[in-house]
Amino acid sequence: MVQSFLAWTRELASALLPWSPLGILLAFISLGISILFGAWLPTRRGHKQARKLADITNALSTRFVGEFAEDLHAITALVKRAKTRIDVLGDCVDYGSFGAPELQHDYMKAILEAGQCGKKITYLVWGPPAPISLANKFGPGHPEFKQRLQRFLAYFHGAGADRNPHPFEKDLERILQEVATDRSLRERYPILTTINPTHVIKYFRNRRWAGEKIFKGLLLCFHEWVVRRFEIGANADIFIHSAAEGKTELFFWIIDAGSSESEAIFLLPSDRALAFITRDPKLIETFWGIFNTKLDVYRKGKTEEDSQSLRTKWKALMSILWRK
């Protein structure tokens, strides 16, 4: 229909005097409509194809959701969808705080709101808490490290999401003081026993590089601050197995485990730390088994039987992932 109309206007224009105003006007109308429809039709087809691709992607039981730290968008959305419980396995509680403090702020807010609504929240940190998560690619040595460091420090001094000083600022000194008297804190963060608390506070306030050890000490103080916020503000159960051998091979966030609406986001820590979301019951069941086995190891102490159980579950998980 569009093609017939364009052909008709071209024939009419050519039938008139070449330089008549009406002939010129019709020629321009024909040209304009050709350009408009020529651009509109492919765009419309592209939008339809994009919508179809999105529908197919969303229908898949397991799909890619992003690299660190963009995966925090999907993780935060997952937390908000939880109806009964949230279970997390990783190497820290403040995931994303250094790489993307604003996104971590939104994630923390979602956890606190979930806990205040009565949802059960359980964290298991496997190994000593990491100052920078193994999934975080922006640590020392990365080209963007200095930029991310400035962004991290500025966030606490009124450059964050709400433009107000972060409450962590007034709690930092108290956390450092407690390290001297609290044995559990010293065992959880041994690096804090080897640095001068005054240097950490000075570094935080002046924002001048004071060495990697002071930098990591500051990050661990913030980690402890987030732990306390989750324990008090969300009534979360947080288990930190500092004595665990090795690092966890897998991070995941599971919501509503054991129900038909269960979902999980998982990633294998690496340079890119690609994150995936899944509704696959077998995959989530395997994650849930790994979580509970590790939790039992933490509660009872490591045994050869527990280690064998973890290895068996890990092999089962790998076989499932290879089939994806």
Summarised one tens digit per residue, pLDDT across range 90-134 is 999 999 999 899 999 999 999 999 999 999 999 999 999 999 999
pLDDT at 277 over 80: yes
Give me the pLDDT at residue 180, please.
86
pLDDT at 284 over 70: yes
ω before 180 within 30° of 0 (cis)? no
Predicted local confidence at residue 41, as pLDDT: 42
State the pLDDT at residue 60: 65
> Regarding predicted confidence, which is higher, 259 or 32?
259
Q: What is the pLDDT of residues 126-172, one digit of tens each?
A: 999 999 999 998 888 899 998 999 888 888 876 545 566 678 988 99
* Residue 247 confidence class, pLDDT cut points 50, 70, 90: confident
Task: Decide which of 251 and 60 is more confident.
Answer: 251
More confident: 41 or 165: 165
Q: How confident is the model at residue 32 (pLDDT cuts 50, 70, 90)?
A: very low
Q: What is the pLDDT of residue 296?
A: 93
pLDDT score at 137: 87
274 φ/ψ angles, rounded to the nearest 5 degrees? -75, 130
Q: What string of H, E and C letters represents the secondary structure of 203-268?
A: HHHHCCCCCHHHHHHHHHHHHHHHHHHHHHHCCCEEEEECCCCCCCCCEEEEECCCCCCCEEEEEC
Residue 53: the pLDDT is 43
Q: What is the pLDDT of residues 42-63, one digit of tens each?
A: 445 555 554 544 454 455 689 9
Percentage above 90 pLDDT, the chain = 56
What is the three-class DSSP state of 276? strand
Give 36's contacts (C-beta < 8 A, 6+ positions apart). Answer: none
Average pLDDT in the chain: 80
pLDDT digits (tens, 9 = 90+) for 200-238: 999 998 888 888 999 999 999 999 999 999 999 999 999
| Distance (Å, whole) CA 177 – CA 135 | 30
- DSSP E strands, the chain: 62-66, 85-90, 120-126, 237-241, 251-255, 263-267, 275-278
Architecture, CATH, for domain 63-323: 2-Layer Sandwich (3.30)
For residue 286, the one-letter residue type is: T
pTM exceeds 0.85, yes or no: no
In this structure, what DSSP letter does residue 100 have? -
Please state the rounded mean pLDDT for residues 304-308. 49
